């Protein structure tokens, strides 16, 4: 079959790698794609937030499955247009995507279905927000309600910081997305994510994963889209994993009770607190970079899983996983997440990929005359599988050291805290 995948990050490169490994896939199109996906299928120029255009393009090119990677097209209802055109779609419609598109909506679902999370209040004007902040005190968390490209959350250590964050929201820093503000109790503990395939009835969870958000070693410096990730998470107990799965199942049951027919990947972001795992957020899609450590461990044909998800037949699928651990290190452009230069030739990708268990996924690259050039802040995700956490980590760094360009930058401590154990986290 022909398949159209929407998106252009490392996540989409990992999804594309698994899709083209399936004998079911005849032709893969990626819109708009990146240098890595250009080597796996055909990149196409398409406005991925325009549902009618995506559905028409998919129809014209005989695609029988559309897979939606990022949140913006999901929130814009692209999945609804694709399904209305009679084409299978992996990704929730606009109603289900509100789980990510509105913090107020997802908190209301958490409350209604008694899912463990932080106490909160939703405010629609400055006076109400300031009064609540002063009543609660710091530390406290301020979140713009809508999509804000990962920049809408402030974990405020002081009341002043919290008040500034609220003022910025109501002053229009995030446009409509900040016109409503969610103010939340500040929780403590390691973070852990669970991705789950769901067709709105059946839930098939994937192994937990843990991202590293800060730019510099020892979790210092500015927040980024993620500098490295691993899966499973050695510090998660069996009880915590069971609780997180139970929460994901109760969430999907709650969505069904709300009349939402959610088909795709649901991402639960948790904090492992002293009183057990509690929800930080939901995303309506695969995580980036979590996907880059979860999918290489999947043995089941991803196209089968996606088609079953789209057709409410997930109960018929048995997921099989490789027993290995996966560690992924992000190679970034010097200066990221601030200003950086692009256009440098990248060498050593083939050598790194030739190592056993290594997958080099492209995030910000472009392919020109058979050569790869840097084309973004986060350039490559170097994932390695290994029979132990340490083995996977050593192999990932061995592969990273084979790849070079002018201004390559990475954190050398991905997974270092997990190796030290739970005590490495202050609770």
The binding site for ligand AMP (CB under 6 A) comprises 118, 141, 143, 153, 155, 184-187, 191, 269, 280-281
Nearer to ligand GLY, 92 or 287 (CB): 287
Binding partner of residue 191 among ligand AMP, ligand GLY, none, CB cut-off 5 to 8 Å per kind: ligand AMP
Sheet holding 140-144, edge to edge: 120-123, 181-185, 140-144, 153-156
We find the least distance from the C-beta atom of residue 303 to ligand GLY, in angstroms, to be 22
Q: How far apart are the first and last CA of the chain?
A: 50
Burial class of residue 262 in the structure, from the number of CB atoms within 10 Å of its CB (0-12 exposed, 13-18 middle, 19+ buried) = buried
Nearer to ligand GLY, 146 or 287 (CB): 287
The packing angle between helices 302-310 and 10-20, to 10°, is 100
Binding partner of residue 281 among ligand GLY, ligand AMP, none, CB cut-off 5 to 8 Å per kind: ligand AMP
We find the least distance from the C-beta atom of residue 292 to ligand GLY, in angstroms, to be 10
DSSP label of 176: G
Binding partner of residue 153 among ligand AMP, ligand GLY, none, CB cut-off 5 to 8 Å per kind: ligand AMP
We find the least distance from the C-beta atom of residue 189 to ligand AMP, in angstroms, to be 9
Nearer to ligand GLY, 192 or 307 (CB): 192
Residue 226 touches ligand GLY, criterion: CB under 6 A: yes
Report angle CA 305, 309, 314 to the nearest 5 degrees: 75
Q: Which of residues 257-286 bind ligand GLY (CB under 6 A)?
A: 283
Nearer to ligand AMP, 226 or 232 (CB): 226
Binding mask 181-220 for ligand GLY (x = CB under 6 A): ------------------------------x---------
We find the least distance from the C-beta atom of residue 184 to ligand AMP, in angstroms, to be 4
Under a CB-based contact definition with an 8 Å cutoff, are residues 199 and 308 in contact?
Answer: yes
Q: Which of residues 289-328 bind ligand GLY (CB under 6 A)?
A: 290
Query: Can you say how many angstroms the Cα of residue 43 is from the centroid of all Cα atoms in its chain?
Result: 21
Binding partner of residue 283 among ligand AMP, ligand GLY, none, CB cut-off 5 to 8 Å per kind: ligand GLY
- Mark out the alpha helices in 262-388 (DSSP H runs): 291-294, 302-310, 349-353
SS3 279: strand
Nearer to ligand GLY, 126 or 155 (CB): 155
For the chain, the C-alpha Rg in angstroms (whole number) is 21
The packing angle between helices 238-257 and 103-112, to 10°, is 100
We find the least distance from the C-beta atom of residue 193 to ligand AMP, in angstroms, to be 9
Q: Which two tokens stand for residue 6?
A: 């929407």
Question: CA 91, CA 306: separation in Å to the nearest integer?
Answer: 9
Q: Containing H/E element for 221?
A: strand 220-223
Binding-site member from 10, 92, 228, 287 for ligand GLY (CB under 6 A): 287
The packing angle between helices 159-170 and 126-136, to 10°, is 160
Q: Which two tokens stand for residue 104?
A: 């107020």
Q: How many CB atoms lie within 10 A of CB 196?
A: 20
**Closest residue to ligand GLY, based on beta-carbon distance:** 287
Under a CB-based contact definition with an 8 Å cutoff, are residues 72 and 49 in contact?
Answer: yes
**Closest residue to ligand AMP, based on beta-carbon distance:** 281
Residue 288 touches ligand GLY, criterion: CB under 6 A: yes
Nearer to ligand GLY, 240 or 288 (CB): 288
We find the least distance from the C-beta atom of residue 332 to ligand GLY, in angstroms, to be 15
Binding partner of residue 71 among ligand GLY, ligand AMP, none, CB cut-off 5 to 8 Å per kind: none
Site of interaction with ligand GLY (CB under 6 A): 211, 226, 283, 287-288, 290
């Amino acid at each position: 079959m022909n398949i159209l995948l929407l998106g252009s990050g490392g996540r989409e490169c990992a999804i594309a790698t698994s899709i083209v490994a399936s004998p079911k896939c005849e032709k893969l199109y990626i819109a708009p794609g990146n240098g890595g996906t250009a080597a796996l299928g055909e990149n196409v120029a398409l406005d991925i937030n325009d549902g009618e255009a995506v559905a028409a393009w998919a129809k014209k090119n005989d695609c029988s499955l559309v897979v939606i990677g990022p949140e913006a097209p999901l929130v814009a209802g692209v999945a609804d247009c694709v399904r209305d055109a009679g084409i299978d779609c992996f990704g929730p419609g606009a109603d289900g995507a509100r789980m990510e598109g509105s913090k107020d909506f997802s908190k209301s679902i958490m409350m209604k279905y008694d899912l463990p999370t932080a106490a909160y209040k939703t405010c629609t004007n400055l006076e109400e927000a300031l009064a609540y902040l002063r009543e609660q005190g710091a530390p406290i968390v301020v979140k713009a309600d809508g999509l804000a490209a990962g920049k809408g959350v402030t974990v405020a250590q002081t009341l002043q910081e919290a008040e500034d964050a609220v003022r910025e929201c109501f002053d229009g820093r995030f446009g409509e997305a900040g016109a409503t503000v969610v103010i939340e109790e500040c929780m403590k503990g390691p973070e852990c994510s669970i991705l789950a395939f769901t067709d709105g009835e059946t839930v098939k969870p994937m192994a937990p994963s843990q991202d590293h958000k800060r730019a510099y070693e020892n979790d210092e410096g500015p927040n980024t889209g993620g500098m490295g990730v691993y899966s499973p998470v050695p510090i998660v107990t069996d009880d915590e994993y069971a609780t997180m799965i139970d929460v994901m199942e109760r969430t999907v049951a709650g969505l069904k009770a709300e009349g939402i027919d959610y088909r795709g990947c649901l991402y639960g972001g948790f904090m492992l607190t002293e009183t057990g795992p509690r929800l930080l957020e939901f995303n309506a899609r695969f995580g980036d970079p979590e996907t880059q450590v979860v999918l290489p461990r999947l043995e089941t044909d991803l196209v089968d899983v996606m088609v079953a998800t789209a057709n409410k037949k997930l109960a018929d699928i048995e997921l099989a996983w490789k027993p290995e651990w996966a560690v992924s290190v992000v190679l970034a452009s010097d200066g990221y997440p601030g200003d950086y230069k692009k256009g440098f030739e990248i060498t050593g990708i083939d050598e790194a990929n030739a190592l056993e268990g290594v997958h080099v996924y492209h995030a910000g690259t472009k392919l020109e005359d058979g050569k790869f050039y840097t084309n973004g802040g986060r350039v490559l995700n170097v994932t390695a599988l290994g029979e132990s956490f340490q083995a996977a980590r050593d192999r990932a760094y061995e592969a990273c050291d084979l790849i070079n360009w002018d201004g390559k930058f990475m954190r050398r401590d991905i997974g270092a805290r997990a190796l030290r154990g739970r005590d490495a986290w202050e609770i």
